[in-house]
Amino acid sequence: MIHIMGLTVLSLLLCIATCSFAFGFKDGPLENGNFEEIPKSTDLNGTVVLRTNAIPHWETSGFVEYIKAGQKQGDMLLVVPEGFAAVRLGNEASIKQRVNVTVGSLYAITFSAARTCAQAEELNVSVKPDFGVMPIQTLYSSSGWDLYAWAFRAVFTVAEILLHNPGVEEDPACGPLIDSIGIRVLNPPKATKFNLLKNADFEEGAYMFPNATTGVLIPPNVEDDNSALPAWMVESLKAVKYIDAAHFSVPHGQRAIELVGGRESAIAQVARTIAGKTYELTFAVGDASNSCEGSMIVEAFAGRDTLKVPYESKGTGGYKRAVLRFVAVSNRTRIMFLSTYYHMRSDDYASLCGPVVDDTKLLSVRNPRRLV
């Protein structure tokens, strides 16, 4: 039986691989996703892109600038996070690229962006018929550049990925900078008899550029109703950060969540439970080894029950485990995690950071009395 199931899973995986191949889809950077393929010099006037097809593989509209590393804007040196080039979108300007996708599948776009002049710059990321307007801030990194994820479900066989600056600043040279755009097909995991939570270890989520050291911001569901973190909803107002073991301390597996938004951001999932039964929610609380120091508290919620887990962070990595035991009061129990406090990195005092949550598990307890 297990063997047959293994085979089924294998052929399913093969099918996914070949199907994706058949549609020309590959996880990773978009074609010229980092803008390193240069426009012809005749298609540029200084930095200004003169033709809609000037940047290879992209279509631009409006005032778009092709920015090279080291270039200055007034007195400000423009930093390009990856390679030597990026683009800037002026008022109402946009860039787009078409990608072949599978109708019905869920995808996440990851892109690197920084604001320039205005306090409140935004990017409207869209794949018809869906869109999300995301604030581009400088709260999460001192360089100003952050990676953002946005998910969509394919409704057409061709996804037209459009990044648009809806801003109307006085200075046309203002507007967000963009670099490194990638995409990944999401495979939402299911709950099993070993865990009632889906994607409980956060292993499934937005594409991470192998060289990116900052993690990826997963926006709240008001900005992205599909969630680039399958099975989880990012609630409230601020993003959470998706981090990888290659660049951060991660309690378990390759990925975890850093709660960077204090009480203004939470991750939540609704699990199937049986009213009257006793359950245990276990999880790991730690720090990402990113100079985020201090007394932290992660609050876990299971329906009406809560548990506050204190964690003393030296900012050098480490974690502890916690258990919230509760009796389900209905068929559905909302599981949620948030950080009680805001934290700032001690190495730059400019970037929000916070405790890490990972390796969550929800199971019913067979003999609750015996285990007390």
Q: Near ligand NAG by CB under 6 A, which window of 160-168, 189-197, 227-235, 292-300? A: 160-168
Question: Is 215:243 a contact under the CB 8 Å cutoff?
Answer: yes
Q: Which residue in the set 105, 110, 112, 126 belongs to the binding site for ligand NAG (CB under 6 A)? A: 126
Q: Residue 33: name the closest of 93, 91, 96 by CA.
A: 96
Q: What angle do CA 112, 108, 68 make, to 5 degrees?
A: 20
133 binds ligand NAG (CB under 6 A): yes
In the complex, what is the shortest distance from the CB of residue 278 to ligand NAG, in angstroms, rounded to a whole number? 15
Q: Is 124 in the site for ligand NAG (CB under 6 A)?
A: yes
Site string for ligand NAG, 209-238 (x = CB under 6 A): -xx---------------------------
Residue 42 or residue 367: which is nearer to ligand NAG going by CB? 42
Residues 34-63 contacting ligand NAG, CB under 6 A? 45
Q: How far is CA 206 from CA 170, 216, 278, 279, 335, in A?
A: 35, 8, 34, 30, 21
Told to check if 364 binds ligand NAG by CB under 6 A, we report no
- Binding flags for ligand NAG, 20-39, as an x/- string (CB under 6 A): ----x---------------
Residue closest to ligand NAG when measured from CB atoms: 24
Minimum Å gap between C-beta 110 and ligand NAG is 13
Q: How far is the CB of 179 from ligand NAG (least distance, A)?
A: 11
Nearest to 169 by CA among 114, 113, 120, 134: 120
Number of chain positions touching ligand NAG (CB under 6 A): 16
100 binds ligand NAG (CB under 6 A): yes
Give the residue from 95, 146, 98 showing the smallest Cα distance to 125: 95
Closest CA to 239 of 226, 254, 224: 224
Rounded distance between C-alpha atoms, residue 10 and residue 333, angstroms: 33
Contacts of 30 (CB under 8 A, 6+ apart): 57, 97, 99, 161, 181, 182, 183
The C-alpha atoms of residue 246 and residue 42 are separated, in whole angstroms, by 41
Q: Across-strand partners of 266?
A: 235, 338
Cβ at position 126, least distance to ligand NAG in Å: 4
What distance lies between CA 151 and its chain's CA centroid? 9
Could you say which of 8, 213, 316, 331 contacts ligand NAG (CB under 6 A)? 331
Which amino acid is it at 169? E
Contact flag: residue 316 with ligand NAG (CB under 6 A): no
Binding site residues, ligand NAG, CB under 6 A: 24, 45, 82, 100, 124, 126, 131, 133, 162, 164, 166, 210-211, 275, 330-331
